Amino acid sequence: MTNATTQLSEDTCLHAAERLDRDALEALQLERLQWTVRHAYENVSLYREKFDAVGVHPDDIKTLADVQKLPFTTKEDLRLSYPFGMFAVPREDVRRIHASSGTTGRPTVVGYTQGDLDNWADLIARSLYASGVRPGWRVHNAYGYGLFTGGLGAHAGIERLGCTVIPMSGGQTEKQVQLITDFEPDAILCTPSYLLTIADAFEAAGLDPRATSLKVAVCGAEPWTDAMRHELEERLSIKAVDIYGLSEVMGPGVGNECVETQDGPHIWEDHFLPEIIDEDLQQVPDGEQGELVFTTLTKEAFPVIRYRTRDLTTLLPGTARPSMRRIAKITGRNDDMIILRGVNLFPTQIEELALEQSELSTHFVLELTRNGKMDALTVKIEPREGVAETDAAAAVKALQQRIKTRIGCSVGVELVPAESLERSQGKLKRLYDLR
């Protein structure tokens, strides 16, 4: 199949696919789905075995709904095929490899052909344009370079859009402050938690984070709330826009929010077919919450069929790009859900409530411990700078009460000294399970 690496059109910078009507988009999706399923079946033994086991053949895919006949793919399948067992092209056609860190066990390894890299750059360019970034801008890229898809993935798309990339990578926070001050970038790309770390570092250096040249931040790679968006926009005087993606499906740029609506990432549906499934692994209608599943539609080196992301969200109708559906801001992953004495809760719910308390900072961690047979959760949180101790103590009590009434469970909330918690350098670790 030929790759559709069409350039952004000059008049509006919108890709032709962003202007297709829904019927034309679905026709394109079906054609690409049929190609992908055949490509995976013919070139990846794991897919052939899984399809044969449930008696489904590429010829059975006659409509988009037929995707439901196909078996799911999990991270475990990728681990078992470590390192290259799920690559669908000859090794000499693989131009690049990335890998996810994998907190436990082996990392998962993904590969890209030249065509895949071209599509990826196009999709990042499309994502940045949707974020409000414009050709000619200087873009400070503070996503980590290396095996992580964030840095190099974003890098190629920044260039593709016609911007100047500053390939800073993550970490070295004082240097980030210096380069943002000296190079005067228009946009920054990094995780939302790392942008907070950078804002703190500006203040620590006696500089006003609102006075930088930055206009837009394109933030993703971890769950974050609208409360956090508001915090970042206020503190840095910018627009903060949500970029979504995962290495198994491509990397950053699977979907992106539009700056004019800021209402959740549009999925770039000409390249990825999304579904939401319930706990019984059945597809649910748009608007219902569940686990997000993706089938890639154009990937050559590493096609994925019904990949279970573990991310929990809802599919919503398109707005700023009417034919492409959106996902609601991701509340969390079903593997970072805390079940506390029967109540399900996500770190993002605590984030939302903590940020309502102006005496408390955005820096907090969650510690899970076990008291005999009972699990206990403690929120350790720093006060905001300059807040009197008595006010901070009252805010802690108020937060505890709020968590009880709004989430429905009793947790401990403990004030810890300012600057005592570890700062994010990329993806933030919020939850410490000490059980």
Within a 10 A sphere around the Cβ of 145, how many other Cβ atoms? 17
Contact in structure between 126 and 256 (CB atoms under 8 Å): yes
Least separation in angstroms between CB 128 and ligand DLL: 12
Asked whether the beta carbons of 225 and 196 are under 8 A apart, the reply is: no
Closest separation in Å from C-beta 77 to ligand DLL: 15
Q: How far is the CB of 257 from ligand DLL (least distance, A)?
A: 8
Number of helices followed by number of strands (H, E) in the chain: 10, 20
**Which residues, other chains included, contact 351 with Cβ-Cβ below 8 Å and sequence gap of 6+?**
224, 225, 227, 228, 362, 364, 430
Options 51, 112, 143, 307; binder of ligand DLL; rule CB under 6 A:
143
Choose which of 111, 150, 157, 383 interacts with ligand DLL (CB under 6 A): 150
Which residue in 265, 259, 235 sits closest to 328, CA to CA? 265
Toward ligand DLL, which CB reaches closer, 66 or 226?
226
CB of 170 to ligand DLL, least distance (A): 11
Please tell me whether residue 149 binds ligand DLL under the rule CB under 6 A: yes
CB–CB of 123/253 below 8 Å?
Answer: yes
Residue 221 interacts with ligand DLL (CB under 6 A)?
Answer: yes
Q: What is the nearest approach in angstroms of ligand DLL to the Cβ of residue 313?
A: 9
Interface with ligand DLL, residue 17, by CB under 6 A: no
Q: Could you say whether residue 313 binds ligand DLL (CB under 6 A)?
A: no
CB of 374 to ligand DLL, least distance (A): 29
Residues binding ligand DLL: number (CB under 6 A): 20
- Looking at residues 231 to 260 of the shown chain, list those that interact with ligand DLL (rule: CB under 6 A): 242-247, 251-252
- Chain positions 75 to 114 lying near ligand DLL, rule: CB under 6 A, are 100
Comparing CB distances to ligand DLL, the nearer of 79 and 333 is 333
Report the distance separating Cα 100 and Cα 81, nearest Å. Answer: 14
Q: Are 105 and 79 in contact (CB under 8 A)?
A: yes
Concatenated DSSP letters of 33-102 = HHHHHHHHHHH-HHHHHHHHHHT--GGG--SGGGGGGSPPB-HHHHHHTTTTTT--S-GGG--EEEEE--
- Determine, following the binding rule CB under 6 A, whether residue 115 of this chain makes contact with ligand DLL: no
DSSP state of 2: -
Residue number, 301 or 413, with CB nearest to ligand DLL = 301
Residue closest to ligand DLL, measured at CB: 220
- Contact criterion met (CB below 8 Å) for 110 and 247: yes
- For ligand DLL, the binding residues in 318-347 under the rule CB under 6 A are 330, 333
Instruction: Provide, rounded to whole angstroms, the least separation between the CB of residue 150 and ligand DLL.
Output: 4
What one-character DSSP code corresponds to residue 60?
Answer: G
Give the span between the Cα atoms of 173 and 175, in whole angstroms: 5
SS3 category, 234: helix
Residue with tokens 């959740």: 264
CB of 325 to ligand DLL, least distance (A): 16
Number of Cβ atoms within 10 Å of the Cβ of 147: 16
Nearer to ligand DLL (CB atom), residue 150 or residue 318 = 150
Q: Please select the residue that binds ligand DLL; options are 275, 311, 352, 359, rule is CB under 6 A.
A: 311
Q: Residues 309, 357, 362, 424: which binds ligand DLL (CB under 6 A)?
A: 309
C-alpha–C-alpha distance, residues 402 and 381, integer Å:
15
Q: Does the protein bind ligand DLL through residue 223 (CB under 6 A)?
A: yes
- Least separation, in Å, of the C-beta of 100 and ligand DLL? 4
Footprint of ligand DLL on this chain (CB under 6 A)? 100, 143, 149-150, 220-223, 242-247, 251-252, 309, 311, 330, 333
